[in-house]
Amino acid sequence: MRILVLSQYFWPESFIINDIVRTLDEQGHEVVVATGKPNYPDGKVFDGYRALGTQRERYLDRIDVVRVPLWPRGGGGARNLILNYLSFVIAGFFCLPSLLRKREFDAILVFAPSPILQAIPAIPLKWIKRAKLALWVQDLWPDSLTATGFVKNPHVLRMVGWLVKGIYRCCDKLLVQSHAFFMPVARYAPKEKIYYFPNSIRGECIAEESTAVPRELIELLNNHFCVVFAGNLGTAQGLDTIVQAAIELRGDPDLRLVLVGSGSRLAWLESQKRSLGLDNLVLPGRFPIQAMPYIFERSSALLVTLSDRDIFSQTVPSKIQAYLAAGKPILASLNGEGARVVIEAGAGLTSPAEQVHALVKNIRELQSMNPLQRKQMGRAGRDYFDRNFEMRSQVKRLVEMLQ
């Protein structure tokens, strides 16, 4: 197939769409990527790029990538985020038809984490190229705007709902990453358009030693019972729960909570660590995605947390698939679909979102288990991953749906 993948976020930013594109190419499909200038998550345009102007390059030296200008996210804040979102939509709408004028496509796939607005440039391309349009829904608008407090005005939320309904109407298929997404999406689109297509990752988790991982972190992982959280450190992740758990657990000299990543709440975490004297809370920063299997391999357990909001109970965080693939026991402090996956896999222990004492109890319980019990949990998680989330088989399903 000839497939156009449209996403505001793409390599060298770390998103699962990178590996989806790679796998499509490996399976013999002709793939082109339309995206913006990389600046996530720190808000600064990456070295080698500039915010203005269009750009062409090749991913993996064989996949064409076209980039449109956009306003960088900057240090955050509503103004920068709105300009970031709108700049991609406007630039994509006007620039992509000319950038892609000599290319023909059978299908267009939009990878749609927040904001769903990034699907708008795909709509005229669908008509120009006479291609089928599939939208892979990663975030529920307008529900997520309410949950995060980003938009509170009911009139604005109603207008966003109308916009979402219009976008869905222009799509031929709506792919949802969670079973719990069906009903919220069905409020704005016919049910027959909606298909389950979960997030996935490539299964080869090769834990090669990486020079990007500092020696002191390796020694820490090797010599302590380390519960590792990996990913974005933002408002949705329920980080207050982790800090409170660190307070309750700081009397254990062997236990460490290691938060690998960066995000809008990293500075807050650093201040909490200093002011509360939390030596058991480790903040080593962000590392290349290639280094994560090595870190996971040396972890005692892997931690996923989310805030206690209804919308977050409907999603399965992508890190859960990565944790399952790593074959390590999982500690999940969240509600709904994410907890269901961990329980169904038999891959770890779960507790309700933001319930500090329940999380602490589970951490201590897992720590008290013998290594064989923890290994069995990890193996069960890996087996579940192979059956449900391995990327190569999932991408074959994706192509069938696009056809």
Considering 171, 197, 223, which residue would you say is the last residue of a domain? Answer: 197
| 77 and 178 together in one domain | yes
Whether residue 400 lies inside any domain: the answer is: no
Predicted local distance difference test score (pLDDT) of residue 235: 86
pLDDT band at 43 (very low <50, low <70, confident <90, very high): confident
Lowest mean pLDDT among 33-37, 40-44, 278-282: 40-44
Predicted local distance difference test score (pLDDT) of residue 380: 98
Is the predicted pLDDT of residue 77 greater than 80, yes or no? no
| 171 and 224 together in one domain | no
What type of residue is 164?
Answer: V
Whether residue 399 lies inside any domain: the answer is: no
SS (H, E, C) the chain: CEEEEECCCCCCCCCCHHHHHHHHHHCCCEEEEEECCCCCCCCCCCCCCCCCCCEEEEECCCEEEEECCCCCCCCCCHHHHHHHHHHHHHHHHHHHHHHCCCCCCCEEEEEECCCHHHHCCHHHHHHHHCCEEEEEECCCCCHHHHHHCCCCCHHHHHHHHHHHHHHHHHCCEEEECCHHHHHHHHCCCCHHHEEECCCCECCCCCCCCCCCCCHHHHHHHHHCEEEEEECCCCHHHCHHHHHHHHHHHCCCCCEEEEEECCCCCHHHHHHHHHHHCCCCEEEEECCCHHHHHHHHHCCCEEEEECCCCHHHHHCCCHHHHHHHHHCCCEEEECCCHHHHHHHHHCCEEEECCCCHHHHHHHHHHHHHCCHHHHHHHHHHHHHHHHHHCEHHHHHHHHHHHHC
| 306 and 167 together in one domain | no
Contact 185, 271 (CB under 8 A): no
Mean pLDDT, rounded, of the chain: 92
Is the predicted pLDDT of residue 334 greater than 80, yes or no? yes
Whether residue 193 lies inside any domain: the answer is: yes
What global pTM score does this model have? 0.80
| 167 and 242 together in one domain | no
Whether residue 398 lies inside any domain: the answer is: no
Is the predicted pLDDT of residue 372 greater than 70, yes or no? yes
Predicted local distance difference test score (pLDDT) of residue 210: 62
| 42 and 140 together in one domain | yes
| 20 and 161 together in one domain | yes
Which residue, among 274, 264, 353, has the nearest Cα to 311 in the 3D structure?
Answer: 353
| 181 and 219 together in one domain | no
Considering 169, 197, 225, which residue would you say is the last residue of a domain? Answer: 197
| 153 and 252 together in one domain | no
| 183 and 263 together in one domain | no
Which residue, among 54, 129, 137, has the nearest Cα to 91 in the 3D structure?
Answer: 54
Domain that holds residue 72: 2-197
- Which positions ≥6 away from 9 have C-beta within 8 Å? 15, 17, 35, 36, 38, 40, 111, 113
Whether residue 286 lies inside any domain: the answer is: yes
Is the predicted pLDDT of residue 343 greater than 60, yes or no? yes
Percent of the chain at pLDDT exceeding 90: 77
Contact 334, 353 (CB under 8 A): yes
pLDDT tens, residue by residue, 160-208: 889 999 999 999 999 999 898 999 999 999 999 999 999 988 876 555 5
pLDDT tens, residue by residue, 230-269: 998 988 899 999 999 999 999 999 999 999 998 889 999 9
Residue 157 is part of a domain; what is its CATH number? Answer: 3.40.50.2000
Whether residue 208 lies inside any domain: the answer is: no
What type of residue is 380?
Answer: A
| 52 and 125 together in one domain | yes
| 265 and 340 together in one domain | yes
Whether residue 395 lies inside any domain: the answer is: no
- Which positions ≥6 away from 208 have C-beta within 8 Å? 290, 293, 294
Contact 141, 189 (CB under 8 A): no
pLDDT tens, residue by residue, 103-144: 999 999 999 888 889 999 999 999 999 999 999 999 888 777
- Tokens of residue 111, six digits: 């990878």
Predicted local distance difference test score (pLDDT) of residue 208: 56
What type of residue is 250?
Answer: R
| 227 and 370 together in one domain | yes
Predicted local distance difference test score (pLDDT) of residue 147: 65
* Cis previous bond, 12, omega within 30: yes
Considering 148, 163, 197, which residue would you say is the last residue of a domain? Answer: 197
Is the predicted pLDDT of residue 277 greater than 90, yes or no? yes
Say how many domains are in the chain. Answer: 2
pLDDT tens, residue by residue, 283-316: 999 998 888 989 999 999 999 999 998 888 888 8
